[in-house]
Chain A
Amino acid sequence: MAPLRVIVVYPELLGTYGDGGNGVVLAKRASWRGIDTTLIEATADQRLPEGDLYCLGGGEDAPQTEAAEILASDGMLGRSVANGAVVLAVCAGYQIIGRTFTDAHGVAHPGLGLLDVETKRGAGRRAVGELVAEPIGAGLDIPTLSGFENHAGLSVVGHGAQPLGRVRVGVGNGDGTEGAWSGRVVGTYCHGPVLARNPALADLLLGWALGVDTPLAPLGDHREELLRAERLRAASRFRSWRFRSH
């Protein structure tokens, strides 16, 4: 069997918040289970390689627009998703895989259309702080999502996708929901990186990529449990940190 290919997409453009860690988490959790895995950091000056699992991270305004344009002209990500590849897209990456997103100057840019989501620029305040959301929707059998958000986007999930969760602490999409998913494509505002804080989500994505229905063998995520408990406690305490003026 060919190795599982985990691709971190354009880390030099979409790597502002340590989101490259999501690729590391996926690759390690696969290889610890004896699954042959290749982790590729794909930079924007090369054609995007074919992969089973793509990770897109957060980034600043100009690099976000640049990444969206390069991904659209490259075409590989869309083709791979059509062939069943799994995508995890965070923050700016989440906005890119939607249908449109708006930059700091109010200019709308076309997204890749992999998720039925439209993102506009929020008025004034930037959402910065702990983000806690309860997963919703059939097929998402994972516990509470924990992350750290830092964005100015307001995202509306259309009929072609469904929200990833309902916000308990933080802002998320801005309408009480957080993130979106459809098929094997997941978008979220959670940094952390999100898969380091939510190993069950990592295993869900791995299961999709491997095409297995049974749960993967447990890895004894005790320290992750401790971290999650600590962050969930902190999130309820630090609600007031949620906003800051930009």
Chain B
Amino acid sequence: MSSPEGLGAPSPAASWRLGLAVRAVRVINRGVRLLRLGSGTVAGGRVGLAIAPGLLRSLLAGRTTALVSGTNGKTTTTRLLAVALGAGSGAGSTEVAGPGATAVVTNATGSNMPAGHVAALADAAPGAMAVLEVDEGYLPELVATARPAVVVLLNLSRDQLDRTNEVRMTANRWRAALAGSPATVVANADDPLVVWAAGGAQRCVWVAAGLRWRFDAVGCPACEGRIRFCDGWGCDCGYRRPEPAVAVEDSGGGVVAAFADGRRLPVELRIPGRFNQANAVLAAVAAEALGVRAAVGLRAMQSVDAIAGRFAVHSIAGAQARLLLAKNPAGWAELLDIVGPSRQPVVVGINARVADGRDPSWLWDVPFEALRGRRVVATGERCLDLSVRLRYAEVDHDIVRDPRHAIARAAGFTGVADPSVALNRGADGATDVGAVEVNAKVEFIGNYTAFHDLLGR
């Protein structure tokens, strides 16, 4: 094994330590892959950082790096940006953290903290560009460590509720980290908190990407007054939406990226949803800042049909289930839009483990009313909380605690719901749970552990 290049360590001892750390990460990465212990290689990253705390900085030294952060859409945007840059470099594909020379390296598994970054970078060729998804809390650290060429800021809204989450505090920390950074910041002009965060940077490219969830953005970050959303957004103090360089627009034929220079590029993806089209435009603008024309980047993104298992159709319990992951109210609203047009049955899975947030009262912030008239099955460890929420949304549904059985039930393969749950239809219109028409195509929307349990099996 050759010693890693670009480490530029000042002393032989430090250099030796960094070399050892990289080798340790590579060995653990390989072991994890061989033993099929899962896609996550965070373990190796942790060991590497324990051996040499400066490992991440040295792995990123001399590399062109792009960082992607925000509450929703990080994993998708990171992947789309990596694909776009891969197309530009002529490599054609983006081998993910695999051995051998690749043009673009990225943490595709969503391990978005430093240990995950180290794990992804340990196997990267010296000249490869790095496209890293970054947890919101770690963005300041990564900006300092990576000295990125580009930072993409998507949106900021509340995440799991019983974790300390002050989105405004996050916006302030981002702003401080980006103040004076030479990076080009590609930022969503429609999110006042993101604009505030990006405001300190030397160079910003504003993209009108839309904002679905506004409750976290009503307080003005500049003066603590009130932001009004009307023809963009603005506050009486003068803080207002910047003029975007690129806008995501609906035209007759579909969504286009409308550039201030007159270009209008169609945004056609295989992954669903307006939200992902907006993410694609942000990624294309970021790719252009790194030398790949937006049109080239957008064309390359058409090859993507699933992101870390999300949006992919899986065969489960005999049904064809499209698996969708939502982690917070803003994400749920986007996904309910995505499943909106189809008339397929919908299975909604809710857990409330630590990774999900132990308090599922956010269910009442989700517009489940959109599911009225659909065949709906409530599942997961907190299916009863969901069932009560659906009752008040006046959404008829069955309750089947086991997710696989729930999918079978939604597809119409089984006529009898979970016998452990005595009642399945509302008192507000009790309907007999009889045999239903078979429809093997099912939409499954789950929160974090509900989704991963199903994907992992």
A residues adjacent to B (C-beta < 8 A): 11-12, 15-21, 24-25, 28, 32, 44-45, 60, 62-63, 66, 128-129, 148, 150, 191-193, 196-197, 219-224, 226-227, 230, 241, 246
Contacts and interface: CB of A to CB of B under 8 A. Distances in A.
6 contacts: A11-B215, A18-B161, A18-B365, A45-B226, A219-B427, A226-B423
Interface in B260-293: none
Contacts of A246: 164
Given A150-B162, A222-B423, A227-B387, A12 B362 contact: no
A60 B169 CA distance: 12
Nearest to A22: B364
B222 interface: no
B366 to A, nearest CB: 9
B399 A21 contact: no
A196 B392 contact: yes
**Which residue, of A191, A221, A222, A230, has the highest number of chain B Cβ atoms within 10 A?**
A222
A20 B365 contact: yes
B423 A32 contact: no
Given A20-B364, A21-B392, A246-B164, A241 B358 contact: yes
Contacts of A62: 168, 219, 224
Interface of B: 158, 161-162, 164, 166, 168, 215, 218-219, 224, 226, 228, 358-359, 361-365, 384-385, 387-389, 391-392, 394, 399, 421-423, 427-428, 430
Contact of A224 (B358, B388, B394, B428): B388
Q: Top 10 A-B pairs ranked by shortest CB distance?
A: A220-B427, A21-B364, A18-B364, A18-B361, A227-B384, A222-B423, A12-B218, A148-B359, A191-B361, A223-B387
Given A219-B428, A224-B388, A227-B385, A129 B358 contact: yes
Contacts of B161: 16-18, 150
B387 A193 contact: no
A196 B388 contact: yes
A177 B456 CA distance: 44
Contact of A44 (B158, B226, B365): B226
Nearest to A12: B218
A32 B430 CA distance: 13
Contacts of A223: 384, 387-388, 391, 399, 423
Given A150-B161, A150-B162, A191-B361, A226 B392 contact: no
A192 B360 CA distance: 7
Contacts of B361: 17-19, 21, 148, 191-193
Given A19-B361, A21-B361, A25-B392, A128 B226 contact: no
A129 B218 CA distance: 28
**Which residue, of B162, B218, B361, has the highest number of chain A Cβ atoms within 10 A?**
B361
A108 B290 CA distance: 52
A17 B219 contact: no
Contacts of A241: 358
A221 B385 CA distance: 13
**Which residue, of A45, A128, A226, has the highest number of chain B Cβ atoms within 10 A?**
A226
Contact of A226 (B219, B365, B422, B430): B422
Contacts of B428: 32, 219
Contacts of B421: 226
